Amino acid sequence: MAFWRKRWSRNLLAVSLSVCVLLRSVDVDARPANMSSSKNKSQAGKEENEILPPDHLNGLKMERDGHLNKDFHQEVFLGKDMEEFDEDSEPRRNRKKLIEIFTKVDVNRDNSVSSKELQEWIMEKTKEHFQEAMKENKNSFSAVDPDGDGYVTWNEYKIKFLASKGFDEKEMADKIKLKEDLKLDEETQEVLESLRDRWVQADSPPPDQRLDEEEFLSFLHPEHSKGMLKYMVKEIVRDLDQDNDFKLTLSEFISLPVGTVENQQGQDIDDDWVKERRNEFEKVIDSNHDSIVTMKELEEYMDPMNEHNALNEAKQMIAVADENQNHQLELEEILRYSEYFTGSKLMDYARNVHEEF
Ligand SMILES: [Ca+2]
Ligand SMILES: [Ca+2]
Ligand SMILES: [Ca+2]
Ligand SMILES: [Ca+2]
């Protein structure tokens, strides 16, 4: 029971953070089974509520709810220019941008991209995501620190959080001041507790029960601090770990989130889920291949600034598109696999390439 309870509460958190519930604000009965796997949640979530820790973090391999980040390689290939490659943008424009990127990645100008060059590029693009998060955090912080004294207390944050969930801000503020019962539903209460734990973690020593801008950044974006990244990994392991040994077996790692399988479509998604996770577990996360993923292994896997990860990623990306098998990427290969690198297709790439050369 305790286990399901935990799982359920984490799922609730993930679900609560997703845009659907926020839009309906007080409609807390809305519990989509597996919202996190819908593709456009990151953008939507960003617009919806900037004071909540996002589930999806650009440039991180795993989301806070334990889902694999399916857009990871595109994120680390495109950096902050990701949004420019949406599906409706014009192929000719995308192609031009992709060529620009290619020339930048190819630092030694030998007309092909080596794994080393791509690794450097990935590190650079990862930093861009960090910088973007810092910029956004400025706005988020001023939203929770209206008096501008540079600090936000837990109660101040709690009021803003409740307001974002549709509660009356003034009423909540008064009740908190008078220490009255807020009469929150169980779901909101659980989300708050989880946020509170994270809050305490983000209050760097010596703790003063309030967060400054930098601490608030690590509250929203654990990837900005080693300590918070560790905490995030702990949360993920806690949610997936069924026998409480703080390690993950393959079966723990691939077990499905509560409420996923409901119909045939759900079943198909689930088959993919298992396949992808098995692959990631065996080939990447379990780095010493002893069939157990430790916290340490997961921490290393999640660390966006890990150069070894970046090199692995570079090699994987090259392997996908390396048609002439020279372990490097030529421009033509990147254009051909445009959809893989950018998420958008270049329909007439073949003709264009011939015109170009
Ligand atoms: Ca080169
Ligand atoms: Ca375990
Ligand atoms: Ca291992
Ligand atoms: Ca090649």
Q: Is residue 287 part of a domain?
A: no
Nearest-ligand number for the alpha carbon of 327: 4
Note down pLDDT in tens along the chain; length 357 residues.
344 444 444 444 444 444 333 343 333 333 333 334 344 444 444 444 689 999 999 999 999 999 999 999 999 999 998 888 877 778 888 899 999 999 999 999 999 999 999 999 999 999 999 999 999 999 999 999 988 999 999 999 999 999 999 999 999 999 999 999 999 999 999 999 999 999 999 999 899 989 999 999 999 999 989 999 999 999 999 999 999 999 999 999 998 665 555 666 666 667 888 899 999 999 999 999 999 999 999 999 999 999 999 999 999 999 999 999 999 999 999 999 999 999 888 865 555 555 554
Determine contact, residues 111/66, Cβ cutoff 8 Å: no
In a domain, 157, yes or no: yes
Q: Which domain holds residue 175?
A: 152-211
Is 204 a domain residue? yes
Amino acid at 148: G
- The Cα–Cα gap between 220 and 215 comes to 9
Ion ligand 4 residue ranges (Cβ < 5 Å): 322, 324, 326, 328
pLDDT value, residue 3: 42
Interval between CA 274 and ligand 4 midpoint (Å): 31
Give the residue from 343, 275, 321, 329 showing the smallest Cα distance to 110: 329
Q: How far is CA 270 from CA 55, 237, 257, 260, 315, in A?
A: 20, 20, 10, 8, 28
- CA separation for the pair 49, 52 (Å, rounded): 6
3-state secondary structure of 347: coil
Helix (H, G, I), strand (E, B) or coil at 317: helix
For ligand 4, the distance from its centroid to the CA atom of residue 213, given in whole angstroms, is 45
Is 238 a member of any domain?
no
Distance 245 CA to ligand 3 centre (A): 14
Q: Kindly report the pTM of this predicted structure.
A: 0.79
Q: Is residue 268 part of a domain?
A: no
Measure 240 CA to ligand 2 centroid, in angstroms.
Answer: 8
- The predicted pLDDT at position 6 comes to 45
The ligand whose atoms approach the alpha carbon of 321 most closely is 4
Two tokens, residue 79: 């950096």
Report CA(104)–ligand 4 centroid distance (Å): 17
User: For residue 187, is it within any domain?
Assistant: yes
Q: Relative to the alpha carbon of 324, which ligand is closest?
A: 4
The alpha carbon of 172 and the centre of ligand 1 are apart by a number of angstroms equal to 59
328 Cα: distance to centroid of ligand 4 (angstroms): 4
Q: How far is the CA of 8 from the centre of ligand 3 (A)?
A: 27
CA of 136 to the centre of ligand 4 (A): 38
Distance CA 76, CA 124 (A): 8
Determine the distance separating the centroid of ligand 2 and the alpha carbon of 64, expressed in angstroms: 18
Asked, for residue 41, whether it belongs to a domain, the answer is no
For residue 174, tell me if it sits in a domain: yes
Counted domains in the chain: 1
Specify the DSSP class assigned to residue 62.
Answer: B
Q: How far, in Å, from the CA of 332 to the mean position of ligand 4?
A: 9
Alpha carbon of 154 to ligand 2 centroid (Å): 33
Please tell me the distance between residue 36's alpha carbon and the centre of ligand 3 in angstroms. Answer: 27
